[in-house]
Structure formats: structure tokens, C-alpha cells
Chain A
Amino acid sequence: MSLLVFFLLSIVKIAVVLVIFLTAVAYTVLLERKVVGRIQNRWGPSRVGPFGLLQPLADGIKLFLKEDLLPTAVYRPLYIAAPIIALACSLLSISVVPFGADIRYKGVDLFQIADLNIGLLVILGVTSIGVYGIALSGWSSNNKYSLLGSLRASAQLISYELALGLSLVGVVMRAGSLRLRDIVNIQAPHGMLSWNVFGGLQFVAFFIYLMAAYAETNRAPFDLPEAESELTAGYHTEYSSMKFAMFFMAEYANMITVSCVATLLFFGGWTSPFGNLLPAVGGPVVQALLPVFWFVLKVFFFLFLYIWVRGTLPRFRYDQLMGFGWKFLLPVAIANIIFTSLWLAFRAG
């Protein structure tokens, strides 16, 4: 296989994945507005297109046409760089996520952009860099709401990152690898029973991950950085037009990434929940696309859960939030590591 083929196929993969990903981001926003609308006993967007399906398009056009303000008090280089950092970081993690089984065309993996043996570390690292977008936007805006919002966000993000990182140790221990395909493959043999969340006995880790991830993406009930009742909009108060939208795109892209990672690490990735119980149907194309279907279904479930939680739970108080992260999630994550290592040591013998 020549480098040129590899290069060209990679470009095609990146283009396809990014188009699908950005569309998914736009429609997650619509899904959220619809579902939250129904939870609050109203219809949500319903005017643009059938069932409001063209609403994301209309929103995008509207946001592009809006006036792009550059307030006088801001520190311009960072004010402009912050949304770029936030969006770029949120679009990076998807490149190491495998969507389907390891099917190769001319030696190139079709369902994964970059097959790295440190995939999980890449996701953790890129998520950490995402803090800069929020911290810099709040500071450079030179607005008190923004500053408070970004300080809250930074403290919250780094605090919950600990619990997040430690909750994944058990999963890594079971797979013995940081490569996402290896982590999924070890959950493949018996369908649902060998998923990390059930058969791997990682359900505690899963709940720690879920809560920490909600805090990492600034989502309800941990959306203190943008608590509109006290901080207007938090770190993006001073932003307008597409720069404002880029923070939102980053947030929803991060939601999708988190859902993908939760699916990969705890819910068996692209594997079928029924293992080999379902008879193999269809030709090779169906067999190649079926895993993608399972993957998307699981990711959709997590996205729905995100929205459901947002529509249901009230917001935390900030000291409760920090206390919950440090005094509850962190010790429980460490206890989970000890328990998992004991279990693995005895089971191996």
C-alpha cells in the first residue's frame, strides 16, 4: 500500500466523518429542543420544514448573518482564538473513534480515521486541551460574568477530569490496552454479558464516568459555568454571531464524543447486544454496516439520556458540585480500581 493511497483515503474518511459529525451536532440541538419541549409540555420547533426538521439549517443561516461584534474591552487575539480552540478540540476526538468492525479496503481501516494504540489517551488529552477554549474566552472577554463563568468551568473541568480518568483505569485493566479497538474486542464474545458495564463489573466506573462526563461537557445538572439565572451566559456572554455558535457546536460535539466513548468503553462499541444469537443476514455490505447501526443506536441512547437528564434534574450549587467531585466521585473511583484489580487478580488464577 502506498502512502498516497493511504493519504487520499484518509482525506475522504475525514471529510465524510466531519460532514456526518457536524450534521449530527446540528440535529442533536434540534433533538434537544424537541425532547425538552415535550418534557415541558410544548412542541418545540415545528415551523421550519416538516416537524421542524430544517430548523438547524435556518439557525445556521441566521447565525452567519448576525452582526459579529468585537467589543472594545476584549483582548482580541485570545477573544478570537478561544472559540477556534474550543471547536477544534471538540472535533478532534472523533478521529480515533472506531464506528464499525475492522474492515479494510486496500489496507485502510474504513470505519476509523486514525487507529492509534493510545486512542484513549488521545481522547483524554484532547478533552483536557478543551479547557483552554473556555478559560481563555472568559478571561479575554473582560466581562465579570464571563470571568466567573470561565473560572467555574475551569475548576469544574479539571476537578471532574480526575474522576473521569480514574474511572477508565478499570476498563483499561480489563483490556490491557489503550487502543479502542482492543477495548471493544474484549467485550465482543458474549454480547451484552461481556460488556464492561455488566460482565466487566464496571457499572460503578460507568456511573462515575457518566457523571464526570456530564460535568466535563458543562451539561445539566452540572451546567454551572453557563447558569443563566446567575451568570447570564457565563463564559460566552460577550460572544455573538458564529463565534457564539461555535461554543455551542463545541458543547454538542463534546456530548456526541462522550456518548461515543461511553459506548466504546462500557457498552461494547459496535458489537451487537445479542452476541452470536442473531443469525447473520444479508450480504457483506449489510454485515459491514450492521455494527455501525448498533454503534449509532447506542450513541443515540446516550444522547437521549443527556437530554432527558437535562429536562429532569435541577442544577447543583457550586460548592455541592465541587464537593461531589472531590469527596464522592474521586474516592469511589479509587475504590473501584482496587476492587477491579483484586477481582482480576483472583479470576486470573
Chain B
Amino acid sequence: MHSQNYFWNYLPLMMQIIVAVGLGCSMVTMSWLIGRHRKSSVKLAAYECGVPAEGDARGRFSVRFYMVAMLFILFDVEAVFMLPWAVIYRRLPAITGSRMFGFWEMLVYLGFVLVGFFYIWKKGILDWAQDKGDL
């Protein structure tokens, strides 16, 4: 594609990462150094709308988050599988010799995914507000 070494292309990205992180760090440091510090115990307490804070935020409470996180991993893997297929899709007829081969292959795969999707939908996991004891 280019005359230069392929890995050179990643060099600017690495530099950008260094610059971006450096910029963030220097901003935090600068603001710590420039701003004046007049601490008081009330000022340093956790904000809770003007009332004294009740305990801290390390207690346990039920969130649907872990279910969503698990589903996310499943469906994100699906998306990851789709991307290489999408890149090569228009070249597949020439490779496989059949115009619809790539389409049917992915349709079968998507079918499996959709069955799983239908299952979690009917199971009520996607109903965020509905409280179910078994979740």
C-alpha cells in the first residue's frame, strides 16, 4: 500500500497517545499547583445535597448492570465476527464461486444470535424496570 514500512503508520498513533496522556496529566498537575487550597472538613465531605452524608457509597445494592455487561460481551463478540465478514463480503462471490454463499453463511449465524436474543427478551432481562427475584 505504501512505500514506507507498514508499522510506521502506527508511530503517529503512539505519539498521539503519549501526547494525550501527557496533556491530561499536565492539566491535573497544573490545576493542583495553580488553584489555592483552603480545606475544611465540610468542604472535603462527600456531597449529599446539603444533608450530612449517610454512610458511604460502598454499600451493596442490586443493579441490573451485571446482566447487561454479560449480554454486552456476547453481542459484542457477535459484532466482532461481523466486521471481518463485512470487509470481505463483496469479494466472497469471487472466492467461493457462489453469489449468495456469504449471505447464507451469515444468515445462519445471525439466526443463532437472534434465537438467543429472543430468549433473553422473553426472559425479561431487557425489562430494566421490572423487578424479578431470580435475576
Interface residue from B15, B64, B88 paired with A11 (Cβ < 8 Å): B15
Q: Which one of A292-300, A306-314, A340-348 is at the interface?
A: A340-348
Interface residues of B in 50-99 (CB under 8 A from A): 56-58, 63-65, 68-69, 72, 75-76, 79, 82-83, 86-91, 93, 99
Answer whether residue B115 sits at the interface, using C-beta atoms and an 8 A cutoff: no
**Bound form: Cα–Cα A107–B1 in Å:** 12
Interface residue from A10, A142, A318, A327 paired with B56 (Cβ < 8 Å): A142
Q: Which one of A32-40, A157-165, A261-269, A275-283 is at the interface?
A: A157-165
**Bound form: Cα–Cα A165–B72 in Å:** 12
Q: Per-position contact with B for A140-175: 1 when CB-CB < 8 Å, else 0?
A: 011111110001001100110110011001101110
Given the known interface contacts A64-B34, A242-B31, the answer about A322 and B128 at a Cβ–Cβ threshold of 8 Å is yes
A residues near B47, Cβ cutoff 8 Å? 143, 145, 232, 237-238
A95 → chain B closest CB, angstroms: 4
Query: Do residues A243 and B31 form an inter-chain contact, with CB atoms below 8 A?
Result: yes
Q: Per-position contact with B for A229-246: 1 when CB-CB < 8 Å, else 0?
A: 000100001100111001
Answer whether residue B121 sits at the interface, using C-beta atoms and an 8 A cutoff: yes
Query: Do residues A232 and B57 form an inter-chain contact, with CB atoms below 8 A?
Result: no
Q: Which one of A50-58, A69-77, A192-200, A214-222 is at the interface?
A: A69-77
Closest to B17 in A: A92
**Bound form: Cα–Cα A84–B27 in Å:** 9
A63 → chain B closest CB, angstroms: 7
Closest to A177 in B: B87
Question: For chain A, what secondary structure do more than half of its interface residues adopt (helix, strand, loop), or is it mixed?
Answer: helix
Query: Do residues B9 and A72 form an inter-chain contact, with CB atoms below 8 A?
Result: no
**Bound form: Cα–Cα A161–B77 in Å:** 12
A157 → chain B closest CB, angstroms: 9
Query: Chain A: how many interface residues by the 8 Å CB criterion?
Result: 87
Query: Do residues A68 and B57 form an inter-chain contact, with CB atoms below 8 A?
Result: no
Query: Do residues B99 and A64 form an inter-chain contact, with CB atoms below 8 A?
Result: no
Given the known interface contacts A162-B76, A242-B28, the answer about A146 and B37 at a Cβ–Cβ threshold of 8 Å is no
B100 → chain A closest CB, angstroms: 6
Interface residue from A73, A80, A85, A242 paired with B46 (Cβ < 8 Å): A73
Given the known interface contacts A14-B12, A68-B32, A242-B27, the answer about A169 and B63 at a Cβ–Cβ threshold of 8 Å is no
B87 → chain A closest CB, angstroms: 6
A residues near B4, Cβ cutoff 8 Å? 1, 6, 107
Answer whether residue A326 sits at the interface, using C-beta atoms and an 8 A cutoff: yes
A residues near B45, Cβ cutoff 8 Å? 71-73
A residues near B28, Cβ cutoff 8 Å? 80, 83-84, 242-243, 246
**Bound form: Cα–Cα A174–B31 in Å:** 47
Query: Do residues A169 and B83 form an inter-chain contact, with CB atoms below 8 A?
Result: yes
**Bound form: Cα–Cα A177–B83 in Å:** 9
**Bound form: Cα–Cα A107–B71 in Å:** 45
Q: Per-position contact with A for B95-107: 1 when CB-CB < 8 Å, else 0?
A: 0000110110011
B42 → chain A closest CB, angstroms: 11
A-B contact pairs, 18 of them (CB 8 A): A67-B38, A68-B37, A72-B45, A87-B27, A88-B23, A92-B13, A114-B12, A117-B1, A117-B9, A141-B46, A143-B47, A155-B64, A158-B68, A161-B72, A176-B87, A238-B46, A318-B128, A341-B103
| Residues of B participating in the A interface, judged by any CB pair closer than 8 Å | 1-4, 8-13, 15-17, 19-21, 23-25, 27-28, 30-32, 34-39, 41, 43-49, 56-58, 63-65, 68-69, 72, 75-76, 79, 82-83, 86-91, 93, 99-100, 102-103, 106-107, 110, 113-114, 117, 121, 126-129
| Residues of A participating in the B interface, judged by any CB pair closer than 8 Å | 1, 3, 6-7, 10-11, 13-14, 18, 63-73, 80, 83-85, 87-89, 91-92, 95-96, 107, 113-117, 121-122, 141-147, 151, 154-155, 158-159, 161-162, 165-166, 169-170, 172-174, 176-178, 232, 237-238, 241-243, 246, 318-319, 322-323, 326-327, 330-331, 334, 337-338, 341-342, 344-345, 348-349
The 8 nearest A-B residue pairs measured at CB: A242-B31, A84-B24, A319-B129, A319-B128, A95-B16, A91-B20, A114-B12, A165-B79
Question: Given A87-B23, A174-B90, list of 12 further CB < 8 A pairs?
Answer: A10-B15, A66-B35, A88-B17, A88-B21, A113-B12, A115-B9, A241-B35, A242-B31, A319-B128, A326-B121, A341-B102, A348-B90
